[in-house]
Each structure stands twice: as structure tokens, then as C-alpha cells.
Amino acid sequence: MNDALHIEIDARGIARVTLARPERHNAFDEAMIAEVTAAFTSLGTDPVVRAIILAGAGKSFCAGADIDWMRRAGGWTEAENRADAMKLSDMMLAIDTCPKPVIVRAHGVVAGGGVGLVACADMVVAIEGVQFRLSEVRLGLSPATISPFVIAKIGAAQARRLFLTAEGFGAVAAKSIGLVHEIGVDGDDADGIVADWLAHLGAAAPGAVADAKALVRAVAGRPVTDELRAHTAAAIAARRASDEGREGLAAFFDKRKPGWATNA
């Protein structure tokens, strides 16, 4: 068990990563950033892991930056702050590019960098009563480090408003702008939604899921050029020739479950 994280992996290969600083509403500091980065780097390459659920202990998912961490940063040089900001960006990138599907279960307060964590997930369920806020400008700062990930998720039009006003918004608004996918009326309902996603993922080939996730990053926002079409043609050719591709097609024609299918 880590200091700032709880990590459990069940028999199906579902990893549950829980932010474990409830007394701070799971606000992150240098230590938590390092632990989250290490956890997603490790879990992303673990052949046992099929999917990762990221949640927060206590009343909130993540309130962003820890106040004591921000106080220390106020005394650092610009170079020290730049290096520290890159570590935060590394954490976001580790989640965003993790080869395994990442599911976030968001509740309570989700502020600043906590919104960045949500933006980096593949699937997000928010529990009614959640309060999102990109709060940086109220502190004289900007959401610079998380901006590539948040803008990729909600688009420039929504960011132009929410980055500037720092206004709070709930689950319904978050779903309308694409930050979350589903809303749970309570924790049990949210867990049911997550279980449904896991069931679908359990029927999918792990390597194909990783490639599909990478495909979204490679194709999103790009014009349809000859280079892009060649990239996608090469991607499907590689999948067809892979062991998973051959097993998947054989299972389909034989009317049986493929070898990777779980009972999830």
C-alpha cells in the first residue's frame, strides 16, 4: 500500500487505483504526483491488468493542487516551477497514454488538476452532486499544464469560457460538454455503470483495445491525408496478422468465445 494511493488488482485483472488523501479532498502534491505517475506507468505494462479504475477516497474525487504544495511553489524559482510543472504534465500523460482502458469515478469536489485527471480518462461516470471547477484564474494562475488534455476533451469553445470564468458546473453540464460520459444517481448506480463498461471490455482483445486507444490519439483532429490513410491501413493490416486478430476471427467463424473473453 502506498502513502497517497491504494492499488488493488482483482482476479479479472481490474486494477482499482484510489486517491487516498481524503482529509485533503485528495488534493495532490509532489508525492502523490510521483505515485500516480509510477502507478499508471507500471499498470499500463502489466500483462495481467485489463482495465484501471481511478477513484477518490472520502468526500471528493480530487480538489486539485494541495495548498501546502502551492505555498512551497510560491517560493521556488521559475526554473524550479517549470520542472515541477513538467512532473504534473508527466502524470497526466501517463494516464492519457496508458495502454489500458482508464475509467474515472468522479464525485464531490473535482477542481483544477482534478479536472485534468478526468479529462485524461477513456470513460468517466460522475455521481450526482459532483462539482467541477477549473479554478486556477481565481488564484492568479492559469490551467496551463492541464490545458492540452482538457481542451482535447471538451474543445476550445468550452475552454474559452470555463478557463476564464472558473465557474462551477455539475454532472449534467459536464456530460453536455463531453467531460463525462454517464451520470450515476448515487455510488451504487455509478458502480453499476462501471460494471457494464467492464463487461464490454472483458469481451474485447486487450491488444486491440490498446491499439484502438492509440488510434484515437493518432487520428483525432487530423485531416484525411494520404499519410493518415496509409497509417490506418497499416494499423488494420497489423491487427489482422496478429495472434489476437487470427484468434478473434477464428472464434467468430467457430461460434465460440475468443481466448481473452472474461466472465465480467
Place of cell 471528493: 60
Confidence band, pLDDT 50/70/90 cuts, at residue 263: low
Confidence band, pLDDT 50/70/90 cuts, at residue 204: very high
Percent of the chain with pLDDT over 90: 92
Encode 112-126 in three state secondary structure.
CHHHHHHHCCCEEEE
Crossing angle for the helix pair 226-241 and 243-254, to the nearest 10 degrees: 70
From 6-15, 75-84, 132-141, 155-164, the region with the lowest mean pLDDT: 75-84
- Mean pLDDT across the chain, nearest whole number? 95
Distance in angstroms (rounded) separating the CA atoms of residues 3 and 218: 35
Q: What is the pLDDT of residues 51-90, one digit of tens each?
A: 999 999 999 999 999 988 888 888 889 898 999 999 999 9
Q: Would the pLDDT of 120 be above 70?
A: yes
Q: Please tell me whether residue 9 adopts helix, strand or coil conformation.
A: strand
Name the CATH superfamily for 5-201. 2-enoyl-CoA Hydratase; Chain A, domain 1 (3.90.226.10)
